[in-house]
Amino acid sequence: MLIRNPRGWELPEREATPEALVLGRRTVLKAAAGIAAAGSLAWPEAAGAADLPAVMRNPRYRPERDITAEREATTYNNYYEFGSQKTISQAAQRLPLRPWTLRVDGMVDQPRDFALEDLLRQVQLEERLYRLRCVEAWSMVVPWTGFMLSDLLKLVGPQGSAKYVRFETAAIQGVMPGLRQSWYPWPYIEGCTIEEAANELSFMVVGAYGKPLPPQNGGPIRFHQPWKYGFKAGKSLVRMTLTDQRPKTFWEQIQPAEYGFWANVNPEVPHPRWSQASERVLGSRERVPTRLFNGYGEFVANLYTGLQRERLWT
Amino acid sequence: MRRAALILLALAAGAIAWAGWSEPLGGALFRLDPALLNTAQAGIQRHLSPWIWDDVALPVLEQPAWLVPAILGFGLLVLRLLRR
């Protein structure tokens, strides 16, 4: 008897969209393409709720949980530059989202400074429903709008010698009150291997809930790898550097025993001060079991073969 | 009390010698033990109250490293004199 476990992205036949609906949608998409060609769907110059073009949701990534209410996800935030509490959403509104430039440099053929609007004209935007697991044992599901990190890397041409991507986030004195803790090693630095960056799940996020990404969630542009703890996802990115040296991350400089370079989600490896076996679902009183790689093992487990000597889970 | 005051004043002098006049207390503590402040912050915010960190601990940590033990040391000396 053949026992087959379906993968997360596989759909049963009954969930396939009927042909008539598909054909009708193509008509709509053709019309939309015509409008886009005329320039009216181009990325606008100013930030605002109506600024994000409508994009298709990618059905390959199914969170198997309800989407977290927008209000919950946008008012319960970790963003140390704006404060050490979860209630930083108001303070974060001071972050100027435009103009915004993302520098991509280091071991690339074409280092570039991307104005955000220019960058978004060169990539394929889509919506993905991802689970986000915070190292503090809470989680949420957010419809992110963005594009694959690998698409961005193609634009600059990574050199063969590049082994890591170093992410640097904004640190603006006078805007970010958390920087008063001047002893911390600002700016916030994160990093991943070039193989992790090339993985299909690695996502550059510019929107959430169909709107431009608000500053408290890392706007105007952040990074997200859903199989890792949330602190790995740098917010309000200003620079990405491809390098052959493993970046020393912000948290590795402060608490290396608790927040390491890899930080892959694993329910069997507790944080030194609490269990990671389960997580509180944001917006509810429900606790659910945490899954290895946050449930994305089928996409990423192969990245870590041969790395058993590394501290993959902290 | 006198001994405690003298220890604090000695600490203040040592802080000037080691960290200079302007390095904040938080910076000096971070140099001594990078994990100390984050652990203290997490403990205070989880077990006492989040505002204590932001409104009490942080303003103290932002002061020059020598100033806090100096104030405490002189304060104890003054208290001792008043008691007499």
Least confident of A52-56, A119-123, A276-280: A52-56
Q: Is A181 on the interface with B (CB under 8 A)?
A: yes
In a domain, A48, yes or no: no
Return mean pLDDT, chain A.
89
d(CA B70, CA B7): 10
Structure token digits, residue A38: 């005329």
Q: Which two tokens stand for residue A210?
A: 């169909």
pLDDT digits (tens, 9 = 90+) for A131-170: 999 999 999 999 999 999 999 999 999 999 999 999 999 9
- Give the confidence band of A108 by pLDDT, cuts at 50, 70, 90: very high
Nearest beta carbon to residue B38 from set A85, A180, A254: A254
The sign of the torsion formed by the CA atoms of A9, A73, B42, B49 equals: negative
Q: Residue A41 falls within a domain, yes or no?
A: no
Q: Is the CB of residue B34 less than 8 Å away from at least one CB of chain A? A: yes
Please say whether the beta carbons of A129 and A63 come within 8 A.
yes
Residues 6+ away with beta carbon under 8 Å from A126 = A55, A56, A57, A58, A145, A146, A147
Cα nearest neighbour of B42 on chain A: A84
Residue A228 inside a domain? The answer is yes
Q: Residue A52's pLDDT is what?
A: 86
Q: Looking at the partner chain, which of A83, A180, A255 has a beta carbon nearest the beta carbon of B38?
A: A255
Digit-coded pLDDT (tens) for B47-75: 998 889 989 999 999 999 999 999 999 99
| Contact pairs from chain A to chain B, CB under 8 Å | 39
Burial call B29-61: b when 16+ CB within 10 Å, e when fewer = bbeeebeebbeebbebbeeeebeebbeebbeeb
Terminal-residue alpha carbon distance, chain B: 12
Interface of A with B in 39-98 (CB under 8 A): 83-85
Tokens linked to A278: 């389960």
Q: How many CB atoms lie within 10 A of CB A80?
A: 20
* Tally of CB atoms within 10 A around A121: 11
Contact list in B for residue A183 (CB cut-off 8 A) is 24, 26-27, 29-31, 37, 61
Residue A40: pLDDT band (50, 70, 90) is very low
Burial of A272 (0-12, 13-18, 19+ CB in 10 A): exposed
Residue A165 lies in a domain: yes
pLDDT of residue B2: 86
A240 alpha carbon, distance to own chain's centre: 14
What long-range pairs does B40-43 form, CB within 8 A, spacing at least 24? B41/A84, B42/A273
Distance between CA A47 and CA A97 in Å, rounded? Answer: 7
In chain B, the residue whose alpha carbon lies closest to the alpha carbon of A258 is B35
Q: How far is A184 from chain B (nearest CA, A)?
A: 8
The alpha-carbon gap from B34 to the nearest alpha carbon of chain A, in Å, equals: 5
Match 């994000």 to its residue by tokens.
Answer: A52
In which domain, by residue range, is A157 found? 56-304
CA B45 to chain centre: 19
pLDDT of residue A303 exceeding 70: yes
Mean pLDDT of the A42-70 span? 77
Asked if B50 lies within 8 A of A85 by C-beta distance, the reply is yes
| Residue A245, pLDDT score | 98
- ∠ CA A265-A269-A274 to the nearest 5 degrees? 95
Contact B34, B69 (CB under 8 A): no
Q: Which of A313, A60, A102 is nearest to A205 (CA)?
A: A102
- β-pair partners for A88: none
Instruction: Give how many domains chain A has, as a whole number.
Output: 1
Tokens read off for A128: 């993905």
Region of residue A295 (left: phi > 0; alpha: psi -120 to 50; beta: else): left
Query: CATH number, domain at A168?
Result: 3.90.420.10
pLDDT in tens, A57-92: 999 999 999 999 999 999 999 999 999 889 999 999
Answer with the residue of higher pLDDT: B61 or A48: B61
Asked whether the predicted pLDDT for residue A305 surpasses 80, the reply is: yes
User: Is residue A272 within 8 angstroms of chain B, CB to CB?
Assistant: no
Domain contains A37: no
Over the stretch A249-297, which tens digit does the pLDDT of each residue have? 999 999 999 999 999 999 999 999 999 999 999 999 899 999 999 999 9
Query: Is residue A193 one of the residues assigned to a domain?
Result: yes
B30, A183: Cβ pair inside 8 Å? yes
Distance (Å, rounded) from C-alpha B8 to C-alpha B5?
5
**Phi, psi (5° rounding) for residue A45?**
-85, -25
pLDDT for residue A18 is more than 80: no
B63 interfaces chain A, CB cutoff of 8 Å: no
Band of residue A32 on the pLDDT scale cut at 50, 70, 90: very low
